Structure 1
Amino acid sequence: MNAPTDPGLYRHLDEMVPWDDRLQVLEVIGVTEEAPDVRTFTFRSDAQTWFRYKPGQFVTLELPVGPEPVMRTYTLSSSPSRPFSIAVTVKAQPGSIGTRWMFDNLRPGAHVRAYGPAGDFTHHNHPAGKYLFISAGSGVTPMMSMLRWFSDCAPWSDVAFVNCARRPEEIIFRKELELLGSRMPGLSLGFLIEERSSRESWFGHMGRIDAVRLPLLSPDFREREVFCCGPEPFMRAVRGMLEASGFDMAHYHQESFAAPTPLPAPVDVEALAAEDGAPVQEALPIRFSTSDATGECLPGQTILQAARAAGVRIPAACEFGLCGTCKTMKMSGEVEMAHNGGILDEEIAEGFILACCSKPLTAVEVAA
């Protein structure tokens, strides 16, 4: 006898509310092998809400790897045109901690906490008549999100897709890309492989992308809005090649999670004041209302640093204002915030701040 099906699975979208990353967690509903050491993890909300995001954005997963969870940021490979689930496609690198934990522990029915979505690497922010996607390795994931959106919502769109991989079997989403190529009249696919493989024959382009191969794969690349994602050396080579060709770099966009800058050491304000005769800056009091804790923020310190010093945990991943994981409600006081796109203007208007890049100007209370 089959188990009864949850009737909540069959609600219409207008009967549901969007996913709230502060109240709900994700439930794994599928795990798919994509390529060697590459898997797609598909999630739904444990409260059966729907997902609202832009194609190409990312989420941050909180993974219970050890005594303290680790935060890992992954681009969504799914499309918001299919809003009942989201998916991340991840590659386990040598020495991976969070990703290896996912491979070993995430099965259908498992739950993880997530934050987001966030990020501005999306064609929605750069409308154009023609696009060029250039990716290498797992950098294909935001491109796949955008291409799936095009397939569902605008299948006639003019998109050139150059996908680079080391070997044929390492082309992520190859079968789906070829299927989309047969269904989208405006999609042109170009695969570029570095070396042949004994596991799979290859009769396509060989080598690394350069000033000779790019015009072969996309002859009108100078007329397109370019999106690039992959390892930093790969993106650096693509940027240099486009610049040398005279491409207008205002139409070039890349996804990159740069290493966070080291947290600054506490400032010795008395020594600095003694040197220049300036008045001594004092530490500012800070209250963490949810934790019922208090602390102080030294000059030059961020709220995130002050929270850690006070023993208060605020989830944080990138720590330079990009991912939005440390988004926190400011209850009172004034701060100086210099972020990198991890928070929306309307969220700032509501009173939210990013703890990793906010420095108090007065006494502050935050909901943490």
Structure 2
Amino acid sequence: MTEAAMRSELAALASASLWDTERDEMVVCREVHDETHDVRTFVFASCSPRRFSYSPGQFITLTLPCGPAGEDICRSYTLSSAPTRPDRIAITVKRVVDGPVSNWLHDNLKPGMEVPIAGPTGTFTCAESSSRKFLFLSGGSGITPMMSMSRTLHDLGGMADVVFLHSARTPDDLIFARELALMEHNWPGFRTATLCEEDRPSGRWPGLRGRLTATMLPLLAPDFLEREVYVCGPAPYMAAVRDLLRDSGYDMTRHHEESFDFATLMQGELEEALAVPEPGEARYKVTFTKSRREVECGGETSVLSAARAEGMRLPASCAKGLCGTCKCKLVSGTVEMKHEGGIRQREIDQGMILICCAKPTSDLVIER
């Protein structure tokens, strides 16, 4: 960037207004850098002068042309950046074998490219907690919301008391290791520890080994019963942490978790669809115009659940109205929809719905 261009951008940022999730949607990639051998961070700015306002731990949903025939696919990623640095947002993405979106990002997204996003949104955040003592537990790429929270609390003056325990498969899979060590050095109230299950090919891991256990947790965080706990990682990791905390007598009302195991969410959705209808429950016909399928859907069942129960493969991620992946055009009919921020009001006004949280109140025709 030339000196003139830098001055121009600084002047634009000085007068920037806030990002409006109802109106703004295009961001430009500013930086791409490696975190590990298969994890990259992508840094974005608004295409027009905007500053981002969000809570640490929230996510954005990207729409990318990475389907088998070049069609768009939506995928949600938690922000690893901190809202205390409002001119940029960042996601940190692990390359997944056969993952169409993560591989497209790693192979194609370069600085200067523009992509559409929705959000930020989400309810997994420490921003509204009255506690000043936190325990952050993460496994694998579940570190991203914890990093956003840690960076934010650090930027706010380091007044919080944080213990951050991260689990990884090998030392080569450690994300943000240098920054966490620097934060621990500069912030008296911040302690971090890392557990690795295996050694690296080049040598033994000298730190803590294995998985987090009921014996290990009190050694690393002796006062964990007094702390507000935030957990993110693969489903087995999250389940193990829940069991560990319950068995230790922890107050589970102070336990918060964010899962990226969308298959688990979908299983709950399928169970809802296969549940026996209540006597007298209304049943409606749902017609999908592009796939030429018709399904029957109860008035207390989401359209997505009913369609999945009939074997339809429809794009969806969160299954609870957060990410916007299942957004469809409602051609005719009416629905009751209680979403969690995955759709803009102007899109609703244009006839769009989220089929994961839309329940029919009449027969429906949907463009999908």
TM-score under structure 2 normalisation? 0.79
- Alignment partners' CA distance in 1, 2:223 and 2:204: 29
Per-residue Cα deviation, 1:259-308 (whole angstroms, up to 9, x for no partner): 253788xx9xxxx9xxx9x799665899x9xxxxxxx99644867799xx
Q: Shift of the alpha carbon at 1:201?
A: 5.7
Q: Where in structure 1 are there 5+ consecutive unaligned residues?
A: 289-295, 307-313
CA contact (8 A) 1:167 1:196 kept: yes
Report the residue type matching 2:84 in the other structure.
S
Q: Shift of the alpha carbon at 1:197?
A: 2.1
State how 1:171-186 maps to structure 2 within 5 Å.
171-186=174-189
- Alignment partners' CA distance in 2, 1:280 and 1:209: 48
1:167–1:298 distance in 2 versus 1, CA, 3 Å: closer
Aligned to 1:52: 53
Aligned to 1:29: 30
Q: Does residue 111 of structure 1 match 2:114?
A: yes
1:328–1:148 distance in 2 versus 1, CA, 3 Å: farther
State how 1:64-213 maps to structure 2 within 5 Å.
64-66=65-67, 67=69, 68-199=71-202, 202-213=205-216
1:26–1:318 distance in 2 versus 1, CA, 3 Å: same
- Alignment partners' CA distance in 2, 1:163 and 1:280: 48
Q: CA RMSD in A?
A: 3.9
Report the residue type matching 1:318 in the other structure.
C
1:356–1:13 distance in 2 versus 1, CA, 3 Å: farther
Q: Does residue 217 of structure 1 match 2:220?
A: yes
Match of 2:180, SS state, is helix
Q: Shift of the alpha carbon at 1:316?
A: 5.6
1:113–1:187 distance in 2 versus 1, CA, 3 Å: same
Report the residue type matching 2:26 in the other structure.
V
Per-residue Cα deviation, 1:126-167 (whole angstroms, up to 9, x for no partner): 231200001111111000000000011131210000011122
CA contact (8 A) 1:297 1:360 kept: no
State how 1:209-248 maps to structure 2 within 5 Å.
209-248=212-251
- Alignment partners' CA distance in 1, 2:334 and 2:361: 5
1:34–1:281 distance in 2 versus 1, CA, 3 Å: closer
1:332–1:95 distance in 2 versus 1, CA, 3 Å: closer
The structure with more radius of gyration: 1
Report the residue type matching 2:103 in the other structure.
R
Aligned to 1:62: 63
Report the residue type matching 2:50 in the other structure.
T
CA contact (8 A) 2:52 2:83 kept: yes
Q: Where in structure 2 are there 5+ consecutive unaligned residues?
A: 307-313
**How many residue pairs were aligned?**
342
- Alignment partners' CA distance in 2, 1:235 and 1:162: 13
1:255–1:99 distance in 2 versus 1, CA, 3 Å: same
- Alignment partners' CA distance in 2, 1:178 and 1:237: 26
Per-residue Cα deviation, 1:27-46 (whole angstroms, up to 9, x for no partner): 11101100120000101111
